[in-house]
Amino acid sequence: MAKSARASSKKFNNQRKAASVFAPTENARAERLSAKLLELAKQPKPESSDVNMNTEDNDLQVEITTRDDNDTAMEVDASTKTTKPRRSSRVIAKTNILVPISILVFAIGFFPYKPFLPGLAEYESLELGPPPSGPFDKLVFMVVDALRSDFVFSEKSGFEFTQSLIRDGSAVPFTANARSPTVTMPRIKSITTGSIPSFVDLILNFDEADTSSTLSAQDTWLAQLKARGMGKLLMFGDDTWLKLFPDTFDRTDGTTSFFVSDFTEVDNNVTRNIAGELENNDWGLMVLHYLGLDHIGHKSGPRSPNMVPKQQEMDGIVQTLFEAIESKNHLKSTLLVICGDHGMNDAGNHGASSPGETSPALLFISPKMKAISSGLSAPATPKDEFEYYSKVEQSDLAPTIAALLGFPVSKNNLGAFIPAFLPFWPSARDRVQILMRNAKQILGIVTAAFGDELFDPKSTTDPCLLEPTDINTLACQWRSISQKAHTVADARHVDAEWLSATSTWLRRAQDLMSAMASNYDIPKLLLGLALASVSMLLSISSTVSRGYNWNSDAVPLLLITLSYGIMMFASSFVEEEHHFWYWSCTLWLAYLGSRQVAKTRRISLVGWFLVALAALRLMRSWNQTGQKYAGEPDIVKIFLLPYPELLWILVAATYGIISFNILASLDGLPYVISTGLSSFLVSAAFSFKLAFTAEDAPELVVGFAKAVYDMFQGQTLLFRARLVFALLSITGVWATYRSIVGGPRASRTSAYLFHYLYSLLALTQSRATNIPILLLSSLIFNFLQSSNLSIPQITTSSILLQHATFFAFGGSNAISSIDLSSAYNGISSFNVIAVGFLTLISNWSGPIFWTSAANLLLMKKAHEGQKDVFRQHITLLTAFTAASIAFVMAACTILRTHLFIWTVFSPKYLYCMAWGLGQHLLINVGFGGLLYWLSSR
C-alpha cells in the first residue's frame, strides 16, 4: 500500500506540471484517482495475517492503472492535435469551392447575353413611295474560314481566277473589319444580324455540342429570305450554321469545325453538293462554308506548303459558281458573296485583334457588277499591312445584302449600307430610301440607348448648340440629313453631298454604338470580386492559424502576387505579361542559387545553378509571344526551322533521356520486361511525333529523321496515337498498383515514373519545335531537386515556372494563341471531353509538368519528416490563385469602359478562368493531390 501511495503522489506531481497545457484531461484523471484512494481508505484495515508481503501484484495493478490513465490522456491529446489539421482542411476546401463560384458569378455579370428585339423587321412608311426592289433574287454565300485578305488579293495568292474577275469588273473587292473576338460563331452572328455579338459566344464557340446560342428567334437576312418565300435555304459545310439556325435550312450537309487534322475531306463534303444544286431552281440561298484553309493555318501557319494549293482549290470553286451564274438562265440574277469569317495571325491562329486576324477578304461577284464597276487592278498592294482596296465593317454585309435582294434591314443591325452599290439604283428617290431606311433603323437603337429628345425635330433643344460630344454631333447631323431627305429625293439629279453626309452619319452611329460598354451586371461583378477576396483571406488566415514557421520564405511570393495584381490594371502589361514571369523567374533562380550555394558550398550545386540559369535564358527566347514582338525572330525561327537536323537531335535527346528515366523507374519489373516496355513505349511515341510532323510540316522531316520515319511507315496517325495512349495508360495503371501495394520505396519510385510518363504525354501533345523546352525544364528541375528548399520556396518556384513555361511554349493572353493542332490525336470524331483534355495538355503542358515536378519536391520534404506538406503547398497556391483572380476581376470592373476592354481585358479574364478552374483546381489540386497521395503511401 505504501508503494501505491508513493506512485499516486508521483502522479499528482506530474499532473500539476502539465496543468497549464492539458488541464481538463489531467483534472479529470486526478479526480478519478482521488476517488479511488478515498474508497481504499474507507475499507477496514487488514489483519497482520492477511497482509500479503508480495508487492508484485500491487505494483502491477498500479502500473496498469497508470497506463490506462495515460492512454486516456494520450487519446484526448491526440484528438486535440488532429482538430487543427481537420479544421485547416475544411478551410482550404471552402476556399477552393469559392474559387469556381466567384469565377462563374463574375463571368455571368461580365459576359451577359445582350437583349435583342424579337420579330422580323417590316418596311415602314417614309412617304417616299414603295421600297426599291433589289437587282438580285438568289444568293450564294461562300465562307472560306480564315480567308485573310492577302490570301486573295496579294501577288502570292492562289486565287488567280478571282483576281481576273476583279480586273474585269465582275467582282467588287473589300477588306472587311472583323471585330474581336475573331472566331467563327460571333463572326457569323455579326454577318447575319449586323449586330455586335456577345463575348460569351467566344466560349460557346469551343463547344461543338452547344445549342443555346441560336439565332432562331432573331431577325437575320436568312429569316427574311425564308419569310418572303424567296426559295429553299441550303447549307453545306461548317455545322455552326446548323446550331445557330436550327430548323431553318431545307437541305444540309454539315461538317464539324474543330477536326483540324482534316484538310481535304472536310471540303470535299461541301463541294460534292454544288454541281447538283446548281441545276436546281427551287432554292433562294446556298450557304457554303469551307474549313480546310483554316485547318491548315492551325496546323502549320499561313506559310504552310498546303496553303497555296488550298487557295487554288477554293479559286476553282469560285470559277465553277461564276460560270454557272453566267451560263444558266435561272441563275442570271444570282449574287455570289465570297468572304472570310476572320483572318489569322502569323502562327495560323485567330481569336484576338491583330491586323491579320481582323482583316478577312470580302467580294461581291456577279456579271451584273460590270454595270457599276470598270474593274480594279489585281493583285493589289495593301495600304496598311492587310488593308486592300476599301475597308468596310463586316456587319455592313447585313444591310447591303438586304438592299441588294430587296427586303428590310434586320432590327438589331448596326451595319451601314456599302455606298459602292448605290449605282444599282439610278433613281435619287431609291437611293435616299435605301440610306434613310438603314439610318432610321440604326436611329431606333441609338435612341433606345440615349433617349430621343436630341433627335426629335419638335424638341426645343438644339443639339448643334450643345457641347460637341459624340452623341450631340450625331444628333445635329441627323437633323440636317433628315430635313433634306425629301428635297433630295424629289430632285432630278442625285445630291452626292447629301449621300456622302448620310453615309458618314451611318458610320459614326455605327462606331458610337459599337464602342458602347456592354450591359454589365454590376452587382454580380462586385459579388464575384467579393467571393474571390474572401477566398484569398481565408487562405491567408488558414496559414496564420496553423502557425507555419515560414519565416521570410513566403515574402517573395507575397511581393510577386502584389506586383502581378498591380500589373493587371495596365493593358500593355497584360499583353506583354510574359516579361513579368521571365524576369521574376530569373531573379528567383538567382536568389535561390546564391542562398543554396552559400549554405552548402557544393561544386555540383554551383554547376546545376549555372545550368538552370542558362536553360531559363534559352527558354525565354524559344518562342516570341505577346503582341508587340509576336512574329519576331526567336530560337525556333532562327535555328530550328532553317536547320531541322538540329531540331531532331534535340528531340531525340529528349526522348532518349525520358526513356532512360522510365527504365530506371520500372525497377519492380524484371529487367527484360522493363527494358522492352520502356523501349517500345518511347519508340511508339517518337515514331508518332515523326509521322505527325511529316503530315503537319513535311519540310522539317529530313536527314536521319526522314530515315527513321520511313522505317515506321505503314500505320495511320490515328493508330499510332492510340497505341501511345494505350501504352501510357497500361504503364500508369501498373505504377498506381505498385504505389498502393508496394510500400514506401515503391511509392517513391512510382512518383518519378508518373512524372516521366506525363512528360512523354506532354511530348506527344506538343509541337516538335517545342519539345526541347521540356528538356530545359528538366535541367531547371534538377537544380531545384539538388537544393534544400522550404515549402514556400517550392510553391513559389512552381508558380513562377508554371507561368514562364506557359509563355515559353508560345502561349499568351490572346485567344489566337490557343493551339488546336494536337486536339484530335487518337480521336476519329468530335468528343468534347477528349478534345478538351487533349487541348488542355497541348496548351498547358509546361505548367502541368511543374505541377508534377513540385509533387516530387514535396515528397522529398515529407520523407524528411515534415508534416502537412501538401496542405501547406495548396494553401499558398490557393492564396495566390484567389488573389490573382481578384485583381483581374477588379481590373475588369474598374476598366469596363476602357477602349481595350474587349480586345485585352476580356480575353485576359477568359485565361484567368482557365488558370483558376483548369490549372489550379483540376491540375494543382486534383492531379497534384492524387500524385501526392500515391507517392506518400
Is 608 part of a structural domain of the chain? yes
Q: What is the CATH number of the domain that holds 261?
A: 3.40.720.10
Is 78 part of a structural domain of the chain? no
Contact predicate 286/234, CB 8 Å: yes
Contact predicate 336/278, CB 8 Å: no
**Residue the block writes with cell 475597308:** 391
Mean pLDDT by 10 residues, the chain (937 residues): 42 42 44 50 45 40 42 44 62 93 95 72 83 95 97 97 98 94 89 80 54 72 93 94 91 75 82 96 97 88 91 98 97 97 89 89 98 95 93 96 95 93 93 93 87 86 88 92 88 86 92 74 95 94 68 89 96 94 97 90 90 97 86 90 96 97 91 94 96 87 91 88 97 94 90 97 96 98 95 97 97 86 84 89 97 97 90 95 98 89 89 96 96 88
Is 89 part of a structural domain of the chain? no
The pLDDT value recorded for residue 204 is 57
Residue type at 661?
N
Is 414 part of a structural domain of the chain? no
The pLDDT value recorded for residue 790 is 94
User: How many structural domains does the chain have?
Assistant: 2
The pLDDT value recorded for residue 16 is 43
Q: Which cell numbers hold the place of 578?
A: 510574359
Is 385 part of a structural domain of the chain? yes
Residues 748 and 891 in one domain: yes
Residues forming a β-bridge with 245:
none
Q: Which cell numbers hold the place of 598?
A: 552559400
Residues 524 and 394 in one domain: no
Residues with Cβ within 8 Å of 550's Cβ and at least 6 positions away in sequence, in order, are 543, 790, 791, 792
Rounded distance between C-alpha atoms, residue 487 and residue 173, angstroms: 33
CA distances (Å), origin 279, targets 35, 231, 276, 283 = 108, 14, 6, 10
Rounded distance between C-alpha atoms, residue 627 and residue 139, angstroms: 39
Which pTM was predicted? Answer: 0.79
Contact predicate 318/328, CB 8 Å: no
Is 187 part of a structural domain of the chain? yes
Residues 525 and 400 in one domain: no
The pLDDT value recorded for residue 760 is 98
Is 428 part of a structural domain of the chain? no
Domain region containing 164: 138-361+376-404
Q: Which cell numbers hold the place of 337?
A: 458573296
Burial pattern 733-771, b for ≥16 Cβ within 10 A else e, equals ebbeebbeebeeebbbbbbbbbbbbbbbbbbbbbbbbbb
Burial pattern 338-373, b for ≥16 Cβ within 10 A else e, equals bbbbbbbbbbbbbbbbbebbbbbbbbbbbbbbeeeb
Contact predicate 390/175, CB 8 Å: yes
The pLDDT value recorded for residue 261 is 57
Residue type at 383?
K
The pLDDT value recorded for residue 734 is 94
Is 48 part of a structural domain of the chain? no
Contact predicate 666/749, CB 8 Å: no
Of the candidates 405, 474, 83, 422, the one whose C-alpha atom is nearest the C-alpha of residue 228 is 405
The pLDDT value recorded for residue 134 is 94
Largest distance between two CA atoms of the chain: 146
